[in-house]
Amino acid sequence: MSKALTVILLLAMLIQVLKPLNLPGLRHRRDFWKIAVFAIAVMMVTILIRP
């Protein structure tokens, strides 16, 4: 599951750079780093939850 989530978030960052998603907080191409920060946070939570 974590690998699939990683691929989805990488695709979202690529799409954001090519054509902004126009979501609140993601209106500009330079906002792709916000997706990366979210991805790192999700991966940390996944690591903490796993036994």
Range of the domain at 6: 2-49
**Under a CB-based contact definition with an 8 Å cutoff, are residues 43 and 3 in contact?**
no
SS3 34: helix
* pTM metric for this prediction: 0.73
> C-alpha angle with apex 32: 14 to 7, nearest 5 degrees?
45
Structural tokens at position 41:
């946070």
What confidence tens digit (pLDDT) does each residue in 1-49 have? 578 888 998 898 899 889 888 888 888 988 889 998 988 898 888 889 9
Total of domains in the chain? 1
> C-alpha angle with apex 32: 27 to 34, nearest 5 degrees?
90
